[in-house]
Structure 1
Amino acid sequence: MGIYGAINSAVSGLSAQATALENISGNVANSQTVGFKRLDTTFSDLVSGGGSTQADQVSGTTYATSRATNTIGGDISSNDVDTYMAINGEGYFVVTQAADFVDGSTTFADDTFYTRAGDFEVNKEGYFVNQSGYYLKGFPLDPATGNPVGDNPSVIQINSQPLAASSTTTVNYQASLPRVPATTNYDPNTANSELLNDGANGAPGPNLGATEIGDTGTLEADFLASSISGGSVTAYNSNGSEVPLNVRWAKVDNTAGAEVWSMYVDTGGEAGTSYYKVGDVTFDGTGQVSALANTGATAALGVTTSGTTSFTLDEITVGGVTAGTAGNAADSITISFANGSLTQFADPDGIATSVNLSQNGYAAGELTNIAIDESGRVIASYSNNQTRALYEIPLATFQAEQSLRRVDGAAFAATSDSGDADLSGGGAVISNALELSNADIADEFSKLIITQQAYSANSRIVTSADEMLDSALNMVR
């Protein structure tokens, strides 16, 4: 059996090296395929029959098996496409395939697949689809809490409908008022000239103690000359119309340890007035707010106070546009001074400093962009500068990912040996990036040279054995 055994072993070597060559060729062919995992080749020997001791045995045949390299990551390359993703660490994107197109909409198969190919783009229906035709799955996010909804991911679809307008309910106000405001009327040689010119302060002029300052005549001019700017912000009503809020401050009492300022808001000339009075703010000797009062505030605003932290305006009309709803506390506007954001300290320039106003309303907006953030969430951006987190992208991990079954398109299917997918872990999603193939052409060429030499050597064994058989047959003749 020696010569025949040699031929049998050589033929098995040819077959094994052919398998290795096939894997090498496939790896080289997919060296530029996004998310591709190369297949290496493992050779195993089969001991031929013989004696019970190694001295009586001979080398047997061989066979080749493919070895998965799923756990070996490819290089990560940056990319300009906002919806392209790569995975840093372990895990797979959860995807599925389209089943049919019914009544103008895509339906999906029940099968779930897993891939590292993150070249996803949003198609005309709003689905994330990669170049191999797989549709990305994710968990929808609750718009109120931002938490994922449900236990099973669904196919991600982006709704292109405009984002509805949201009315302003809170204006966060920050400023540091000066001890002595540098108003136009202020004269350091004249007592109380820094106070609001209402006649009662010893300065000539019309009565500015009214809750609404007229937009014509000397009332408005004297008010502006007796007050300083407090910044501005644009608020929004429920239909998205802009309501510009321009704030002015007028000092009305300079009693040591209890200095009082009045806060006003520009009306845009509404109803024959220029400014609404919001209320009075009292500062203690340390420059902190000690009291808020709606005394003298205009009834048109329905002002209420909350301790030393906020004024609440029932509604306000500016330039013919109304924000808030009279009698509806849920639709009112709160001007918040929380966390000590309003103070009074000496300032040589006599102006309000560190002024910052922000509000939580916005106009309606059109969808302008879809991107992935650093936590693997799908973020929609709108023309009104708002963003919304719509989905969270899970990563699937397996107890034995080397036992996943390869399918077309650099994807895998779970098997009984791999176990079920775990969607609670995995690595990190990197946006604007792609994971390249983990097949390296230089390494594959090195393996190709070795495989070619081994194949030639096995073919030489067959040739030599054939010649030896001819010699044996010639001996008989």
Structure 2
Amino acid sequence: MGIFDALTTSVAGLQAQSYALQNISGNIANSQTTAFKRTDTSFEDLVASSSQSASRQTAGSVIAMSRSTNSLQGPVSSSSVSTHMAISGAGYFKVQAKTGESDGNAVLSGVDVYTRRGDYALNKEGYLVNGAGYYLSGYQLDSSTGNPVGDTASVIKVSTGMLAAKETAKVTYEANLPSNPSVGTLKTADFQVNPTNLPAAGAKLTADSTYTPIDTSAGGSLSFAVTYDDGSGAAATTTTINLDSSVDTDSSGKVSLTEAVAAINAQLATAGVTGVTASSTSGKLVLSGAAANAQSSLKVDTIATTGTGPATSDLGFNVAGQTANGRGVGQNYVAAKDNDTFQKESINGGSTTAYAADGTALSVQLRWARVSESPDTWNLFYKSDTSAVGSTPMWTNSGQSFVFTSGGKLDTTQTPASAITLNNMTLNGTNLGNISFDYSAGLTQFSTSQGTASISDIKQDGRAAGTLVSLGVSADGRVSATYSNGEQIDIASVPLYTFKGESDLKKLDGGAFAATKESGDSVESTQGKITGQALEGSNTDIADEFSKMIVTQQAYAANSKVITTADSMMQSVLSIIR
């Protein structure tokens, strides 16, 4: 029986060594496969059940099993492709396989598998697909905030269409104004209109002409809306004012200025708009906001006229929709005819490009004028109309006095500490609405050698429309898109996943792995690091594989020698019978 056992064991040995050779062959074949993880071979002895004592046990047979090297890092090298990614340390990309197409679009399996193969490229549908055909998953990011959209990773799809234009809403500014300006202090007498005439704080709308009593004898009436923004960040409040026969308290058939004021205040109070009051001055209608708030604003809009229909001018305002900010209406501008004087008596404040809602680029040119030395006070102007002529406004005052202490810091008791609003900012006829001018990064007044403004930073948050130019991957695994308008936007974040039983993952075609009961479920992890424009190579060591091949060949030959010897012994037994 021993000879037969020896033959069986030798055959098992040949099979085990053949299995090892198969793994070696596969490792060598994939020595240049991206992120390939070689498979080593482990041998396990098999001992037949026996009641014999230990001194009579045989060596037993053998079985070969695969041993994964998933946790062994492959070499990382740079790549010329911007969407390639390499993982350093622990972790896998989450991917899905393509199962077919529908109407020319990919149909994915919906089953998550995992890989370290990072040779991703953008396909025609906007997916990131690696060289083995697996589709990368990650978190889509909000283009405005950069925060993930949702809390579940899904297959990343990059929009290859136009990046929509974004209207400018904020200008960020950081600068130092000279305490020794080269132009000295602006002389208001040199200008047609005093460009520094800043009314006191508190929104105030004063009619441009004398109020015309509204004739209600034939059923005429006027409805208009008052909108008040208290500057606190809360929503603006709007109430509709009706001036008709119901407020004609003296039954004269007309709504007098006194009656109009009383009716407006009564209706404002009823509507809960406590920050606005109506009054009269020299026969004109006046609406005033909270005097203490330099950021408050007022707006009046005509809604409807009926009956004999008084004209809009009967309110005394020449312009429907007139708005006043917390500094009042004022006439704070530099006329075109005074531009040369203004250039001589102010300093350059820098420039940037703002964008309208349709992506139209608009130049924002800023200038600073020192209007007082005690205390040190400056006014900011922007060029609102480059083609203005004569008495037409060319430069518009921001409406805010910037007051500095003797130490060169903003006096926040007289100037907002971090930002102001440029109300209804209009550039060459294009209205951008209310623009936040944010100088929270720093606005100071210190002496300079040239007596000019030192602009550290000036930028805005709008953009023109653009087309996709390229994709890239940052060090933290963020996929960013670069557009033809120069914008670079993070569009997706690529997470990495680990397993408690990494060695028990099931190998799939194309360097992918499937979770098993033994490996456990995937867990999102930050143990590994993604490097963009790089690839992880195979962890196969050719020299080591050749060494193992020699040992395997020798073991195989030895097992075949056992079979030859056993055959010879069998021949000897048969010879005894003859």
With the shorter chain as reference, the TM-score category is: 0.7 to 0.9
Range that drifts further, 20-29 or 306-315 = 306-315
The CA distance in 1 between the partners of 2:127 and 2:53, in whole Å, is: 65
Indicate whether 1:473 and 2:463 are aligned. Answer: no
In the alignment, which residue of structure 1 is the partner of 2:194?
209
- 2:423 aligns with 314
Paired residue type of 2:438: S
Pick which of 389-398 and 76-85 moved more.
389-398
SS in 1 for 2:188: coil
Q: Which amino acid aligns with 1:370?
A: L
CA contact (8 A) 2:192 2:335 kept: no
Q: Which amino acid aligns with 1:382?
A: Y
Residue 135 of structure 1 corresponds to which residue in structure 2?
A: 135
Following TM superposition, by how much is the alpha carbon of 1:316 offset from its aligned partner in structure 2, in angstroms? 2.6
1:423 Cα deviation (Å)? 2.8
Shift of 1:82: 1.3
* Equivalent position amino acid for 1:221 in 2: D
- CA gap of 1:351–1:157, structure 2 versus 1, over 3 A, is same
Distance 1:323 1:381, change over 3 A: farther
Partner SS for 1:42: strand
1:140 Cα deviation after fit:
2.2
Report matched runs for 1:51-200 at 5 Å. 52-143=52-143, 145-183=145-183, 194-199=184-189
1:230 corresponds to: 349
After TM superposition, the structure 1 stretch with the greater mean CA deviation from structure 2, 376-385 or 143-152, is: 143-152
Equivalent-residue separation in structure 2 for 1:165 and 1:261 (angstroms): 34
* SS in structure 2 at match of 1:447: helix
**Structure 2: segments with no counterpart, 5+ residues:** 196-331
The match for 1:336 among 428, 433, 438 is 438
The match for 1:460 among 553, 561, 564 is 561
Cα distance in 1 between the residues matched to 2:40 and 2:81: 32
Task: Identify which of 324, 342, 345 aligns with 2:432.
Answer: 324
Segment drifting more, 448-457 vs 135-144 = 135-144
TM-score norm. by structure 1 comes to 0.86
User: Which amino acid in structure 2 is aligned with residue 198 of structure 1?
Assistant: T
- Corresponding residue number in structure 1 for 2:517: 416
Counterpart of 1:250 in structure 2 is: 369
CA–CA distance in structure 1, aligned partners of residues 194 and 105 of structure 2: 66
Structure possessing the higher radius of gyration over alpha carbons: 2
> 1:354 deviation in Å?
4.1
Task: Give the 3-state SS of the residue equivalent to 2:524 in structure 1.
Answer: coil
Normalized against structure 2, the TM-score is what? 0.72
| Displacement after TM superposition at 1:208 (Å) | 5.9
Flag structure 1 segments of 5+ consecutive residues without an equivalent: 184-193, 200-204, 294-305, 326-331
Cα distance change, pair 430–472 in 1 and its aligned pair in 2 (3 A): same
Look up the equivalent residue of 1:251 and give its one-letter code: R
In the TM superposition, residue 262 of structure 1 has moved relative to its aligned partner by: 2.4
CA distance in 1, matches of 2:524, 2:449: 60
The answer to whether the 8 Å contact 1:48/1:59 transfers is no
The whole-number CA distance in structure 2 between the counterparts of 1:26 and 1:313 is: 69
| Offset of residue 162 of structure 1 | 1.4
Residue in 2 that maps onto 1:188: none
Which has the larger displacement, 366-375 or 352-361?
352-361
Q: What is aligned with 1:261?
A: 378
Q: Map of 1:268-307 to 2, 5 A cutoff?
A: 268-270=386-388, 272-279=392-399, 280-290=401-411, 307=416
Residues 1:110 and 1:225: Cα distance change in structure 2 (over 3 Å): closer
Please state whether the residue corresponding to 1:10 is helix, strand or coil. helix
Choose the corresponding residue for 1:435, options 536, 550, 559.
536
Change over 3 Å in CA distance of 1:231–1:149 after alignment to 2:
closer
* Structure 1 stretches of 4+ moved >6 Å: none
Q: Check the 8 A contact 1:196/1:208 in 2, yes or no.
A: no
Indicate how the Cα distance of structure 1 residues 444 and 291 shifts in structure 2: closer, same or farther if over 3 A, else same: closer
Q: Would you say how many aligned residue pairs link Structure 1 and Structure 2? A: 438
The alignment-based identity, stated in percent, is: 42
- After superposition, the Cα gap between the structure-2 partners of 1:262 and 1:107, relative to the gap in structure 1 and judged at 3 Å, is same
SS in 1 for 2:523: coil
Relative to 1, partners in 2 of residues 1:117 and 1:450: Cα closer, same or farther, differing over 3 Å? same
Alpha-carbon distance in structure 2 between the residues aligned to 1:126 and 1:226: 55
The verdict on how the C-alpha distance between 1:160 and 1:288 changes in structure 2, with shifts beyond 3 A counting, is same
Aligned to 2:478: 377
Q: Quickly say closer, same or farther: Cα 1:150–1:308, change in 2 above 3 A.
A: closer
Cα distance in 2 for partners of 1:405, 1:88 equals 21
- The answer as to whether partners of 1:49 and 1:57 remain within 8 angstroms in 2 is no
For the 8 Å contact 2:193–2:335, the answer to whether it is kept is no
How many Å apart are 1:40 and its aligned residue?
Answer: 0.7
RMSD: 2.1
Q: 2:349·2:455 contact (CA, 8 Å) conserved in 1?
A: no
